[in-house]
Amino acid sequence: MRITRVLGAALLALGLAAGPAAADPSPSPSASGDGKSPTQAGTSFRTATEIEQGQRATASGSAGDYLYWSFPADTGQRPTVEATVKLPDTHGSQTWQLDVYDGLRRRQACQYGAATRTAAQGASSVELACVLRTVRGWAEPWANDPLPGTYYVRLTVVGLGASDLGQPVGAEVRVDSKDIGGAAAVDGRLGKPLVPGIAVKSEADGDDSKTAVLSSFGSDDGWSSGWWSDRWVWTAIGAVLAALAGIGGYALTRGSGRPGNVPPQV
């Protein structure tokens, strides 16, 4: 009976510990509440158009232009960037490419996805996708691991005929993330996220001139990079399971409580 009560209490504690882990502790950012989607793209890193995760951005341009957007990504997120290029009615074969850079302007490799695709002659559109590696809270200086901060999306054509250069095209970009959580947690954290813009004047300063605003990401909710992750919850669950195994092993091996070398009393 005592063993049953102990096991019941341990299972109750296990359920309470697993509850917070089952919930999503830091959901991916949603689209901005103003309902306005960006309708233009920047032409460089400094003028990249800001978009939030879950927000659809569109832009018009010409074949041969470089189109730039930027978005925030935090620790434990695995961003997915999708782009669709709408081509003119008449065109030759074109090859488009989607590149993603971090806050230090280091090109990030795609974990999977078709980041470069060729549209056949007369095709109406071409779709590109890039799934990044999971953003880490900390990395060695020599590593190229994705870190929390600003990420840049660059969309451009890398192969087309001379007759197609300058033809009008339309672009649509969307960024979403999957929260990986403690499975990708590491010890250590950055002093500050990789968000450029320290030397760039923000629009909040009252300057009406056209300036890049690269430091507004994460200003409301902050960044979650730090020592805490849900792996601590699973560590506690492992400790409870180990305690249960110890109690069960003791209950099975302790015997009847009478030493084996003492004969029974008559």
The CATH topology of domain 27-229 is: Jelly Rolls (2.60.120)
Residue 229 to residues 62, 188, 239, Cα–Cα distance (Å)? 45, 12, 17
- Rounded-to-integer distance, Cα 217 and Cα 136, Å: 17
Q: Among residues 31, 69, 67, 66, which one has the least CA distance to residue 50?
A: 69
% of residues, the chain, pLDDT over 70? 64
Average pLDDT, integer, range 45-64: 93
pLDDT in tens, 218-249: 544 455 644 555 666 667 788 888 888 888 88
Name the residue with tokens 């890049």.
212
% of residues, the chain, pLDDT over 90? 39
**Dihedral sign for Cα atoms in the order 75, 78, 84, 85:** positive
Average pLDDT, integer, range 25-31: 36
- Rounded-to-integer distance, Cα 82 and Cα 113, Å: 9
pLDDT in tens, 148-161: 899 999 999 999 88
Domain assignments of the chain as residue spans, ordered by start: 27-229
106: Cα within 13 Å, side-chain hemisphere: 13
216 pLDDT band (50/70/90 cuts)?
low
Residue 123 to residues 68, 95, 127, 252, Cα–Cα distance (Å)? 24, 12, 11, 71
pLDDT over 80 (residue 9) = no
Cβ-Cβ contacts under 8 Å for 97 (sequence gap 6 or more): 115, 116, 128, 155, 156, 157, 158
Q: What confidence score (pLDDT) does residue 161 get?
A: 87
204 pLDDT band (50/70/90 cuts)?
very low
